[in-house]
Structure formats: C-alpha cells, structure tokens
Amino acid sequence: MRRSVVNCVLGIGFFAVAAAFLVARGSPPTGYEASIYAGTPTATWLGLGVAMAVAVAIALLARGLDQAAGIGLGGLSVTAIVALPAVRNYHFSGMGDALTHLGWTRDFLEGAMYPHELFYPGVHGIASALHLAGGIPVERALLLVVVALFVPFVVFVPLVVRDMTGDGAAVGFAAIAAWLVLPINNVATHMGIHTNSNALFLVPAVFFAFVAYSRRRADLEALPFGISPFGLLLLASSVALLLVHPQQMVNVVVVLAAICLVQFVSRRRSGNPAIAGHRTAYAHTLALGGLFVAWSLSNERFRDALSGLFYGLATAGVGAGSEVGQRGSSLSEVGGSLGELFVKLFLVSALIGGVVGLFVLLTWLGRTRVDSESRAFVTYFGAALVPLGAIFLVYFVGTPTMAFRQVGFIFVVITVLAGVALARGVGWLSGLVTTPGATAVAAAALGACLVLALATLFASPFIYTPTQHVTDAQVSGYDSAFEHGSEEIAYAGYGFGVTRYGQGLYGVERDQDRRYRATIAGTVEPDPFEAGAYGEAYPPDRYYLVVTEYDRVREHEVYDELHHSEEGLAELATDPAANELLSNGEVTLYAVEDR
C-alpha cells in the first residue's frame, strides 16, 4: 500500500476513535441503563466501527511501522469499549463480586484489612494507590484498574506471536484475535471488576517473557551473574499474576510444566533442533510452583475453595450437568434456548478454537509449512492445552463455575496460537484463489466475528442478563435504607440480595455485625410473594424489602416475569402488610410483616 494512502486511512481511524470517545464522554447516563450498548450513543458505535474496520485492514495488509500503527488503532478501539463504564461516568459497574471487591478496597483504605491478608490483593492495592495518590473516588479507581489490566492483553498477544514466528501476517492475525477478547465468556469470566477475569489479561505478558527468555542466548543481554533479564521478567510477571489472582498463576505453572516436559522429551529423543537450542524453564517452574504453594496454603480462603472442589467431586448431583439443565429450562421459559445462547456466547470461540485445534494437529503430523522455531512454540502451547483441558474436566464435575473460568485461560492460549493458525490458513486459501482474495475473505469473516464477540463483551439483555450498572441513586438509596432501618429487622432483596451492597458501601471486614450480613438467601421467595402472602415470603415474617430499578428490569423485562410479575409488585404497594418507607426513583424500601 502507498504510504500516503496508509497515512490517510490511519488518520481517519484515529480521528474516528477520538470522536467516538468524546461523544461517549459527553453522554453520561441519566439513570439505570439496562444495556450499556443501547445506552451508548449510536455515533460512538459508528466511530468505533470505522476505526475497527481500518485497523483490521491495516493489520492484515501493511507491515512494519504501518502495521504497528494499525494494531495500535485496533487495540485502542477495543480498549475504548472496555473503558465505556469509566468513560461514560458510571458511578460503578458490577453488582456481584465487584461490590465485594469494592468493600475489600474500602477495608484496605480504612485499615480493617491489610493486603497480605487477602488471597488476591493486586486489584484492590492498585485501586487504593490511585485513590490515595490521585484523590480518585474508590469506585472510579476500580473501573480504571480494569482498563489498565486489560491493556497488556492487546499489547502482548501480537508481541508473543512476533517473537514466536517473526511473520508479519501472523502478527496481524494475532492482534485481531486479541480484539475478539475470547477469554470473556460471561458465564464465569466477565468484563469488569472480577479479579479472576482481570488476571487473564496479564497472562500474555508472562508468555512473552517466556518466549523471549527461551530464544535469547545466555551470553547476550545478561545481567550480573549471568542472570537473564527475560528470566527475571518471567518471574516478576508471574508474581504480579499471583497477586491479581492465584488461579491463573497456577495455570501458568501448568503451562510451564508442560513445556518443561516437551523440552525434556525432545532432548532425550533428538526431536526438534529448535527446542534443543532453547533455554529450559525447569528452575522457573519449580520456583513459581513453590511460591504458589507457600502463598496459598497459608490462606484460609484457598483451603475452603479446595475443600469445596473435593466436596463437589465426591457429591452426587453436583456438577455442570444439573446446572446447565436448570439454565436451559429457565431460558426456554423466557423465550430463549441454550442453543441460541451458545451461538451468542461461544460461536466465535468455537470457530477460532476449531481452527487452532486443526492447525496444532496438522503441525504435529508434519503437514504444515512452518519453520522449526515456530513449530517448537506451537508444540509448547499445544501440549499445554492437554493438562489445561484435564483440569477443566475436573472442575466441570466438581465446581462448574471454576470450569468456565478454566475455559477463559484456555482461550488465552488459543488466542496466541490463533495468530499462527489463521496466517497459515489464509496462506493455504491463497493457493486456491489469490492472496488478495484470501485476505479479503479472512477480513470479512473476522470482521463478522468481531461484531458478535464485542456485542457480548458486557452483560446485556442480548444475552438475557441486564447490565450491572450501579447508579448514584442506587448507592444513596441503599445507604439510606441501611442507616435508617431498625436493627431488629432483617433485609431482603427482590431477586437480588442486599448483602453485596452492604459490603460495597461499608466494607467486607468492617461492620461484621450488621444485620444484612446475617441473611442467608437474602431474597424473597417468589411463590408466596406472587400469591400475595408477603409476610411469608421471607423467613423472619417481618423484614425490609429493597426493590431497585435493576430488579424491575431484570425480573419483569429481561426474565419476562419468570419469577416475579409487575402485578405482584404493584399489589404489594397497596397491601396492608407493607409500608413504603422511602423511594428515590430507583430504590424503594418497604417494611413488610405478616398480618
């Protein structure tokens, strides 16, 4: 491509991103948004769409600095999407684990908990530093940490592939694969304040350190005592991963252990000469494995999780099978199906995973035209998928949520391999048609994949889950409800428990005696509630009921009144058993008792 054309196209792309950013920034939400996609102005999506189209074209067609600029444009565009909650000035985002993480951050700042007492203090520590150093509100600091931890993913995936192959086409495809954000599945990994998911985006930095360490000669770029700077980077990045979430650090150790086995066998059987020339990862694997054991066994939370896994493996009826069946039944009642949801959440992942799986198999059979260096790294990461898959099967039987978290890590590895696999696939296709034709087909297919993948990056009614947007009104409403209620009366939620909000407002470790923490389920029972027996819908027979706009949207619109109906809630307002105590438009508090 001519330099003037490339510069002009790139200029349009960067201008589109800037314009999209400014439009989004100038359109903050006025209340609760059921969908961040619908709430974000159309002009923002048009700008980001133009930028992504330019980025895909430049990443595939250009090379050198021009390609790097195109990759940077695409990475910036995807990061802008990830940053939408912060850009559009959400008060907070996330109503489950995110609120608990907010509470832990408050505990850090108030001295109720020290970082070493938490199993994964990385996200909370960074947010605390931003708050203390910059005066940023704690909620916003956490939203910014999500963005900061995402950036290494779009930066290091193409860098890993460049170091593996040196092939410009593979680098371009790797960048596009990273923009798909395949590790997020919205089953157990989420785009938001979710430390297990946030840790996934640091993994490519660890892989880059390993690849660089393996290929660099020991006598070059060495620190004193012959220490490799990339070896230190491998250790440092893994420690950072440990602090963000240890589960993903364990997976890294598993990957390194599989690589060590490949290196050991290859040296004994005179295998790939490139593997024989690589520096081994034996010492790093042992050091990181020992570090994880020392860190985890001293933490009660890890021991409880491990006990829960063993219990799940040993208990009949526990596992993913029953959970999938339950969700499938619920989906059918709201007009959806598991097949539809699979297409939305996993079709792109399945397609990319299929291409990668076929490529790895053909490479092992010697049916692909890759040099020995590239084949070595494909063998490394391909072999690592075997133990990672075995761990997934164990989780699948014992703790289904952990199984889908494992899927998230597996797709980090697949994303790295996808760059090489797609480049070779297009090379094969160009032999059937032409190189421009094969590239055009690949660009169109990947463009369609980008649309579907990014449309499911956040929770939304599109995947039968409303956006977990926490508004100022929700926070003030809950705060008033908690502070002005009687200490003798428990709290219940309308489909969503109140405990998480208590943790987010006041901290997890502080105020342990607050009554909203004593609740078990934390929500009213749908059957007696819908039957008008409001006093019987919660065990104490006398309780406070908190209803938010999020609850109404989820139960009445997204879930299509599967559990709660608008009529049932409307009748509550006129029932003698209930008294409305406060309402600010988004949070309503009722006092309910059996009469």
Domain count, the chain: 2
Domain-located, residue 114 = no
Same domain, 407 and 453: yes
Nearby residues of 199 by Cβ (< 8 Å), 6 or more positions away: 120, 122, 149, 241, 244, 245, 247, 248, 249
One domain, residues 551 and 406 = no
Q: What is the per-residue pLDDT across 271-289, written as a single tens digit (0 to 9) for each?
A: 788 898 899 999 999 999 9
Q: Give yes or no for residue 1 having a pLDDT over 80.
A: no
In sequence order, which residues have a C-beta less than 8 Å from that of residue 353 and are 6 or more positions away?
411, 414
What stretch of H or E contains 592?
strand 587-593
| Pair 161, 420: CB distance under 8 Å | yes
3-state secondary structure of 319: coil
Does residue 57 form part of some domain?
Answer: no
Position 60 scores a pLDDT of 96
Instruction: From 22, 67, 26, select the one nearest 48 (Cα to Cα).
Output: 22
Do 215 and 284 sit in the same domain of this protein? yes
Q: Residue 172 pLDDT > 90, yes or no?
A: yes
Three-point CA angle 188, 191, 193, nearest 5° = 90
∠ Cα 247 252 253 (to 5°): 95
* 94 within a domain of the structure (yes/no): no
The residues with which 582 forms a beta bridge, in sequence order, are 589
Instruction: Examine the domain organization and report whether 479 and 422 are in the same domain.
Output: no
400 and 477 housed in the same domain: no
Residue 110 counted as domain residue: no
AA identity, residue 404: F
> Which range in 198-202, 326-330, 514-518 is most confidently predicted, on average pLDDT?
198-202
pLDDT at position 318 is 47
> pTM of the predicted model, to two decimals?
0.93
Same structural domain for residues 445 and 578?
Answer: no
pLDDT (tens digit per residue) in 524-574: 999 999 999 998 898 877 899 999 999 999 999 999 898 999 999 999 989
First to last CA, the chain: 79
- Shared domain check, 453 and 510: no
Inside any domain, residue 123:
no
Does residue 231 sit within a domain?
yes
> Can you give the pLDDT at residue 161?
97
Mean pLDDT for the stretch of residues 210-216 = 89
Task: Answer yes or no: is 178 within a domain.
Answer: yes
In a domain, 239, yes or no: yes
Instruction: Give per-residue pLDDT as tens, 400-443.
Output: 788 999 999 999 999 999 999 999 999 999 988 899 999 999 99
Read off φ and ψ for residue 304, nearest 5 degrees: -65, -40
Asked if residue 351 and residue 486 are part of one domain, the reply reads no
Mean pLDDT over residues 221-240, rounded? 84
Whether 309 has a pLDDT exceeding 70, the answer reads no
**Radius of gyration over every alpha carbon of the chain, rounded to an integer in angstroms:** 26
Domain residues for the domain of 571 are 471-593
Residues 403 and 495 in one domain: no
Of 407, 433, 458, which marks where a domain is finished? 458
> Helices marked H in 135-245 — which ranges?
138-165, 168-179, 195-200, 203-215, 229-244
Q: How confident is the model at residue 204 (pLDDT cuts 50, 70, 90)?
A: very high
Question: Are both 138 and 210 inside the same structural domain?
Answer: yes
Select from 458, 485, 510 the last residue of a domain.
Answer: 458
461 DSSP assignment:
G
Distance CA 124, CA 106 (A): 9
Distance CA 387, CA 407 (A): 12
> In 315-399, which ranges are continuous DSSP H helix?
320-333, 338-364, 372-398
Last residue of some domain: 458, 481, 503?
458
The confidence band for 515, taking pLDDT boundaries of 50, 70 and 90, is low
Same-domain check for residues 426 and 505:
no
State phi, psi for 183 to the nearest 5 degrees: -65, -20
**What's the whole-number mean pLDDT along residues 297-306?**
65
Looking at the structure, do residues 482 and 415 belong to the same domain, yes or no?
Answer: no
**Residue 82: exposure state from Cβ atoms within 10 A (0-12, 13-18, ≥19):** buried
